[in-house]
Structure 1
């Protein structure tokens, strides 16, 4: 049985948990070595950058990867969906701190495309934070509603697999995961509600492909 790795232990030496959404993007843009000769950056490094106390930043990082140009490479969409599913399942079962197998943490995300994507997104996030993104309807981000978010993320991850056969199909569930990650990080219940809507839309889009698979 391959060794597993507790994400909480893996990030013990990381910076303090980001307190807001802009902090998450700051950590992502500053803690990744841009000049490394290696083509990829380990997933464990990205998770270390966003800390260990909350699922929100973890979902945000995975969601950003899922909608970034990095997933153009064959198999990357399925990898992102599988990691999302693993994290969300633990969240649904109420685990306080997620763990990931060492093999998953050693996966490498294409460095250039991911860093460029985060660089472009960061100024937009900083501009809208406090206006469009802020703590509101916080009850929708904790307690039983957090469990509902986890189930929606599980569903978003599952529908990514059938949607991966159509161009840009995985973008919709990926955006749902990003909204859940932002909402949980910023304690913004409006964004988690939007994430539920995106998840339903992704499921609606995937139903014909799922039905066809079962019919066949």
Structure 2
């Protein structure tokens, strides 16, 4: 009896996926980083690697946070990550495969926490505005439209690094899409499509 009780105490607790921005920030900040480096795979495990909404939200936050997105190559890396996730959703996969070199990428935990800290105040405001509405925009067909829009956005993110602020606007779009799916908030989805169009228009305007 004692052995059974003792064993149950050591069983891992069921992971709870985040449902809003603050929960996602708390989840990432709670990841232990004794080496001072935060591995991308650890973030995926903590936030839910099989859920489309949290994955888009994660990509959006990394791209949006000024301290993190300012690291050269990070926006393009998040673009590739979004490309893989959206591409697999469009072909009907239920679980998402990611290459080991992407999962093993590391960032300074100090920079990550600094970037997340900057986002806490706006995140609280955004979370208060989220509600369940216009649900058809986050249904099956809406998810497919979202995946297609994010797929196109992911292809544009590498050249966006050459145009100031456009990659951050793309981060806003990904964040809104992720939140819309997680909260079934169709209004956020509509806003995300508008922001996606604005980011693509700005990129083409300056590059062409």
Q: TM-score, normalised by structure 1?
A: 0.81
Deviation sequence 1:44-67 (CA, Å, 0-9, x none) = 111111124421001111111111
Q: Mind listing any 5+ residue stretches in structure 2 that lack a counterpart?
A: 1-11
For residue 155 of structure 1, what is the aligned residue in structure 2? 152
1:116 to 108, 114, 117: 114
2:91 to 90, 93, 99: 93
CA RMSD, Structure 1 to Structure 2 (Å) = 2.2
Conservation of the 8 A alpha-carbon contact between 1:70 and 1:110: no
Rate the CA distance shift 1:13–1:43 in 2: closer, same or farther, 3 A.
farther
Q: What is the distance in 1 between the residues matched to 2:69 and 2:20? A: 26
For residue 76 of structure 2, what is the aligned residue in structure 1? 78
- Are 2:11 and 1:42 aligned? no
Greater gyration radius: 2
For residue 33 of structure 1, what is the aligned residue in structure 2? 32
Q: Mind listing any 5+ residue stretches in structure 1 that lack a counterpart?
A: 1-11
Deviation sequence 1:10-54 (CA, Å, 0-9, x none) = xx9871323444433332222x225x233x311111111112442
- Are 2:38 and 1:58 aligned? no
SS at match of 2:131: coil
- Are 2:48 and 1:24 aligned? no
Q: What is the distance in 2 between the residues matched to 1:179 and 1:67? A: 11
User: How many pairs were matched up?
Assistant: 196
Q: What is the distance in 2 between the residues matched to 1:177 and 1:58? A: 9
For residue 139 of structure 1, what is the aligned residue in structure 2? 136
With 145-154 and 106-115 compared, the bigger mean Cα shift is at 106-115
Q: TM-score, normalised by structure 2?
A: 0.84
For residue 5 of structure 1, what is the aligned residue in structure 2? none
SS at match of 2:95: coil
Conservation of the 8 A alpha-carbon contact between 2:163 and 2:206: no
Q: What is the distance in 1 between the residues matched to 2:112 and 2:106? A: 11
